Amino acid sequence: MNLLTQRTLKRSISCIGIGLHTGDKVHMTMHPAPEDSGITFVRTDISGRPVIKASLENVVHTRRATTLGVNGITLSTVEHLLSAFTGLGVDNVMVEVDSVEIPIMDGSAAPFVFLIKTAGLKKQNRPKKFYVIEQSIFVSDQDKYLSLEPAQELVIDFSINFDHPLLESQSYQVNLSRKIFEKEISRARTFGFLQEVEYLKKNGLARGGSLDNAIVIDHFRVLNEGGLRYEDEFVRHKILDLIGDVSLMGSPVIGRFKAHKSGHTLNHSLLARLMETPEAWRRMTAADLFQPTEFYQPEAARVTA
Ligand code: ZN
């Protein structure tokens, strides 16, 4: 059963990147952390090194990115890093950062996947826990919706439909595993419209934003020289964001997400609804979950099937 125990990093690892909003250089170091400690952030640029835990109750706003905060101390753009932790099955890490935001890197989760894999993963002794969905819940906002229903594994079925030639009717479904996350999701970059990027910059936002860390599109086409990494990179990035937001629950969810045009705000409405509806889920350990089907980490499930 030790295949489905919690994991942390084997050793510490650092990187330097740019903050999307401030444009400042950000230093980040990830450290191994004890069992059941979850993902915690430490703002090393503030005296007393305040700690901000990655949890739903610490979400302070969800406009454009997910921002966490405790006692007025905030940390933005956590979702791509959190997505990488969930996607690779990492439960406990302490992340030191010397800025108000996590570095944007290339706008995807791939650089974080690279760092985590370079540090290596270490199995811990306590069992991994999951939220197993037992009743469906649903939230919507105009033409956007997001639902979560019982399923045998973590499935995300996402569609987008914007009034833009590159973004009409894109949909993608994943049955999440580490391999699929790494190969099909982690490289998808965040995206923005040129006119929106110009507006943000005029207003002192997205100072670090460039073609190096986002797909930028004008009315007709992708402006990045190298084009897209996947034909449907936009919807895959929406899945990457959803995985990151859901990770704030503290444990992976076993259930099927069905999303249409959802973003950080609606993602968080669904998670809040889920927490208010305790009959909709059950907290289980990996050992309780063993069934001859693929679950969250199919390679582990297969061994015992
Ligand atoms: Zn994103």
Summarize pLDDT for 44-65 with one digit per residue, the tens. 999 999 999 999 999 998 887 8
Q: Select which of 21, 31, 80, 264 is catalytic.
A: 264
Q: How far is CA 217 from the centre of its chain?
A: 23
> Measured between alpha carbons, how far is 39 from 84 in angstroms, rounded to an integer?
12
Q: How far is the CA of 289 from the centre of ligand 1 (A)?
A: 30
Q: How far is the CA of 20 from the centre of ligand 1 (A)?
A: 11
> Measured between alpha carbons, how far is 51 from 44 in angstroms, rounded to an integer?
9
Q: Which residue has better confidence, 202 or 88?
A: 88
> Measured between alpha carbons, how far is 168 from 107 in angstroms, rounded to an integer?
22
Of 69-78, 107-116, 171-180, 199-208, where does mean pLDDT reach its minimum? 199-208
Domains in the chain: ranges and CATH: 5-128 (3.30.230.20), 130-300 (3.30.1700.10)
Q: How confident is the model at residue 291 (pLDDT cuts 50, 70, 90)?
A: low
> DSSP string of 73-139?
EEEB--HHHHHHHHHHT--BEEEEESSSB---TTSSSHHHHHHHHHH-EEEEEEEPEEEEE-S-EEE
Q: Which residue has better confidence, 158 or 198?
A: 158
Q: How confident is the model at residue 290 (pLDDT cuts 50, 70, 90)?
A: low
Q: How far is the CA of 292 from the centre of ligand 1 (A)?
A: 34
Of 91-95, 172-176, 253-257, 282-286, where does mean pLDDT reach its minimum? 282-286
Q: How far is the CA of 275 from the centre of ligand 1 (A)?
A: 23
Q: How far is the CA of 235 from the centre of ligand 1 (A)?
A: 11
pLDDT value for 84: 97
Q: How many residues does the chain have?
A: 305
- Type of residue at 65: A
Q: How far is the CA of 240 from the centre of ligand 1 (A)?
A: 7
The residues placing their C-beta within 5 Å of ligand 1, an ion, are 190, 241
> Measured between alpha carbons, how far is 270 from 148 in angstroms, rounded to an integer?
8
**CA-closest candidate to residue 176, choices 28, 299, 44:** 299
* Contact call for residues 75 and 174 (beta carbons, < 8 A): no
* Angle at CA of residue 139, ends 232 and 250, nearest 5°: 80
* Contact call for residues 190 and 83 (beta carbons, < 8 A): no
Residue 91: CB atoms within 10 A of its CB come to: 24
264 as an active site residue: the answer is: yes
Q: Is the pLDDT of residue 206 over 90?
A: no
Q: Is the pLDDT of residue 303 over 50?
A: no
Q: How far is the CA of 241 from the centre of ligand 1 (A)?
A: 5
Q: Which residue has better confidence, 17 or 297?
A: 17
Q: Is the pLDDT of residue 294 over 80?
A: no
Q: Which residue has better confidence, 5 or 274?
A: 274
Q: How far is the CA of 33 from the centre of ligand 1 (A)?
A: 25
**What DSSP designation does 222 have?**
B
Q: How confident is the model at residue 255 (pLDDT cuts 50, 70, 90)?
A: very high
pTM, rounded to two decimals: 0.92
Backbone torsions φ then ψ of 38, nearest 5 degrees: 70, -160
Q: How far is the CA of 231 from the centre of ligand 1 (A)?
A: 17
Residue 194: CB atoms within 10 A of its CB come to: 12
Q: How far is CA 105 from the centre of its chain?
A: 14
